[in-house]
Amino acid sequence: MPSAGLETVASGRPGSPLQNEPETCNFEIQIQRGFWPPPPMHPIRASGGSLRGHEGMDRKQCIHAMVEIAFRFSREQASLLTNPMIPKKQVDAAFGQPRISSAIQKKTGQFNWKVIGAKLLGVACGSLLGGLLVAGLWPFHSPKNQATWLARGNGLHFGRHGTILSSGNFKATNAHDNDPCSIEVWLEPDFTADSGSTLLAFYAPGSPRQFSLHQSISDLALRSNLRDGRYRTRTAIFYVGDVFHQGKPLFITVTSKGGQTSVYIDGALAETAPKFPLSAKDLEGELVIANLPREDDSWSGLLRGLAIYDQELSSAEVFHHYETWTKKGRPDASENEGAVALYLFDERAGRVIHNQVHRGPDLYIPERYLVLDQVFLEPLWEEFHPTWSYGQDILINIAGFIPFGFLFCAYLSLAGRIKSPALVTILLGFMVSLTIESLQAFLPTRDSGTTDLITNTLGTCLGVWLYRLKFWRVFLARIWTNLVGTTPIW
């Protein structure tokens, strides 16, 4: 590639030092850009302190102006030579800035961009709407239940979406608030890094008492929800720290009597809560294992045994059961210990786990993963949790609907058929979010709540506000003009 050349031609009135004139001069710069075929000669003209001098300039001013021009040209020429993204087109060097006549502008100038632009904007809006629906409703169906029998040995393994339910309700005969009870669970967790999951829960619609057992990272959590006469719910949580370890079998025993609840780990006493509310009355209703009754909170791991008693097991009985469970695969329990249910998980096939005690119902494995009584549009005050994950979900929901508000407001404004495109866009965002949240109530892997409805609508409002800002409209107008070479369609 031949290098660019700079040629200066000074001219003045007859008799100047450049042409026999001692005081004043004119000058004109001609630049040859050697890499353009054919290489033309371009006079550079400007006014003021630019590229063409004034009459009446003395020799010193002439020289200073010519040096400044040469410096500007060399700097710009180097930029053109080293930047492969700048096409080698004709350059108007006025004010030292190249103006590129793009081939795209020549090709697109023949189109009616007011029509084509509106269609492209409509396609973008449709694509965005489809993406939001996919993100909100995927996988569009209930997945297969991932509760499977072990190939060797007794036990049932729960995957990411696995659960089992009781075939009937547990009923405590003549139970009172402080009646004794005990629960034994023999299990092995798959993970200890998750924020939390549910091991088992008892659910009776309309009951003021709901009890559940949870894995919270590596801690064990006992949760009791008590509802008073004014339908206000008080939640009590009892934690036992550093219990779960990935891939390590664990034998948990929970006993309660007279308002005092004790937790044993592998036959040894771990913690005691003197005022945790747990009694035989809390172990009523339908039993849900590895999930919550009203929302998705599945647990992953191996379940080898489960037993429920309407008596408080003593420390000696707890240790004896631990040894017989782990060595023989079943507890050596006498009839006077008040067993209500005993599940050994030794069937190894089929969809029924039989209760070895005739007082309680069997368990069954649904063909597909489900939430027993999934909540519809859970209220904001019940969804709220002061955790980082909850705040992260709020930010994602807001950010996801900002492009929706921006693009749809732009499209409706361009269409010109609607008097209030901003208001219509906000209502449209609310309806789309309401549709997604309503359909999520029928998908067990999704949660239907008003928090998402509010945050999605807020994101739509922010998108509309951004579109109406002059800064963004001017910024996009410049991009459009540089790319297409026409006046923006908005």
Sketch out the chain's domains with CATH numbers: 5-101 (no CATH), 113-139+379-484 (no CATH), 147-364 (2.60.120.200)
Peptide bond before residue 40 is cis, with ω within 30 degrees of 0: no
Residue whose pair of structure tokens reads 């659910």 in the numeric block: 203
Q: Which amino acid is at 388?
A: W
Q: Which amino acid is at 267?
A: G
Residue whose pair of structure tokens reads 């006992």 in the numeric block: 222
Q: What is the CA radius of gyration of the chain?
A: 39
Q: What's the CA dihedral at 425, 431, 436, 441 to 10 degrees?
A: 160
pLDDT level of residue 27 (50, 70, 90 thresholds): very low
Residue 96 pLDDT greater than 90, yes or no: no
Given the DSSP bridges, would you call strands 20-21 and 16-17 parallel, antiparallel or unpaired? parallel
* Cα–Cα distance measured from residue 260 to residue 272, given in angstroms and rounded to the nearest whole number: 7
- Percentage above 70 pLDDT, the chain: 71
Given the DSSP bridges, would you call strands 197-203 and 41-44 parallel, antiparallel or unpaired? unpaired
User: So what's the pLDDT on residue 487?
Assistant: 60
* Cα–Cα distance measured from residue 339 to residue 5, given in angstroms and rounded to the nearest whole number: 100
Q: Which helix (H) or strand (E) holds 307?
A: strand 301-309
Residue whose pair of structure tokens reads 């707890």 in the numeric block: 318
Q: What's the CA dihedral at 233, 238, 239, 240 to 10 degrees?
A: -160
pLDDT in tens, 284-308: 999 999 999 999 999 999 999 999 9
The token duo for 350 is 């089929």
pTM: 0.72
pLDDT in tens, 169-207: 998 766 677 889 999 999 999 988 776 799 999 999 888
Non-local (6+) Cβ contacts of 349 within 8 A are 149
* Cα–Cα distance measured from residue 116 to residue 124, given in angstroms and rounded to the nearest whole number: 12
